Amino acid sequence: MTEPVLVEQTFFLRDDVVSIALELIGKLLIVKNQGVVKAGIIAETEAYAGIGDKASHAYGGRRTTRTETLYRAGGTVYVYLCYGVHHLFNIVTNQENIPHAILIRGILPVNEEAIPENFRDRFEAWNGTANGPGKLTKKLGIHAEHNAIMLNSGSIWLYEFPESHPFEIVTTSRVGIDYAGKDAYLPYRFYARHYKPAKV
DNA sequence: ACACCGATTATCT
DNA sequence: GATAATCGGTGTA
C-alpha cells in the first residue's frame, strides 16, 4: 500500500459534478475531532447538480441561509440536518456561485496502516457498517459546526491512493427524493460493487 | 423479505 | 404550519 496523497482543491473546482461523484468512490476521508482521528473509504455517493436539478436544495437558484454554503467554491463542506435527526455530509463542487454538491452516503472501515503516518497516533478504528448518510456522520463525528469549512484545512481531509486500481462501480438513481419528479430517475448515484448499500 | 411508522427540529412558506 | 437528500424498530410473511 502506497502512502495516500491529499486531493487538491482543483479536483473539486471542475464543472462535472456527476463524474466527480463517481471518482470519489475509493477515496479516503479523515476526520479529526478534539485530537481524535477517525477515517473511512468512500463507498457510496450522489451528485446534486445545482439550480437545474429538482432534487438540489439550490433548485431554481434558491439562496437561503442554509443553501448559502452550496454557493461557495468547490472543496467546501456542506452539512445540514435532515428530518431533524441526522446530519448529512456533502462536498461542494464547481466554481463559487455554482451550487453543485456531492452527498457522501456510505463508507467502509479502514485500518491504521492505510492512513497517513501523521494521523496514526490518535487513530480510533470503528467496526460495523456505515451504509447510509446519517450513519457515517455519526461514525466519523461530523456535525453541524463542520458546515462551510474547507476540506484539508484542519478538521476534515480527503486523500486518494495513487496506485490503487479503481473499484467496480454500480450506477443507480438517487434515494429519497421522490419530490424531484423526473430528476428522481437521473443516474447520479454511485457505489462500490463490493459494498452493500442500505438500499439498492 | 418487505411495509409501515415514529422520532425530532431547522428550515422554508 | 408543513416539510425533509434518514434510521431503527415493529409487525406481517
| pLDDT per residue as tens digits for the range A22-74 | 999 999 999 999 999 999 999 999 999 999 999 999 999 999 999 999 999 99
Q: Is A130 a domain residue?
A: yes
Bridge partners of residue A45, in order along the sequence = A104, A190
Number of domains in chain A: 1
Q: Is A199 a domain residue?
A: no
- In this model, does residue A2 exceed pLDDT 90? no
Q: Is A138 a domain residue?
A: yes
> Which residue shows C-alpha cell 467502509?
A108
Q: Is A200 a domain residue?
A: no
Contact between A109 and A126 under an 8 Å Cβ cutoff? The reply is yes
Q: Is the CB of A29 under 7 A from strand C?
A: no
Q: Is A198 a domain residue?
A: no
Contact between A94 and A13 under an 8 Å Cβ cutoff? The reply is yes
Could you list the residue range(s) of the whole structural domain that residue A176 is in? 5-192
Q: Is A39 a domain residue?
A: yes
Q: Is the CB of A59 under 7 A from strand C?
A: no
When pLDDT is cut at 50, 70 and 90, the band that residue A102 belongs to is: very high
Beta strand A28-33 with A77-82 is: unpaired
Q: Give me the CATH number covering residue A183.
A: 3.10.300.10
Per-residue model confidence as pLDDT tens digits over A127-149 = 988 999 999 999 999 999 999 99
Q: How far is the CA of A84 from the C1' of B9 (A)?
A: 4
Residue A36, pLDDT score: 98
When pLDDT is cut at 50, 70 and 90, the band that residue A190 belongs to is: very high
Q: Is A83 a domain residue?
A: yes
Residue A188, pLDDT score: 98
Q: How far is the CA of A12 from the C1' of C8 (A)?
A: 34
Residue A1, pLDDT score: 64
pTM of the model: 0.97
Chain A 91-150 residues in 7 Å CB range of strand C: 101, 103, 132-135
Residue A152, pLDDT score: 98
Chain B bases near protein Cβ (<7 Å): 7-13
Q: How far is the CA of A29 from the C1' of B13 (A)?
A: 37
- For the residues A149-176, what does the mean pLDDT come to? 95
Q: Is A197 a domain residue?
A: no
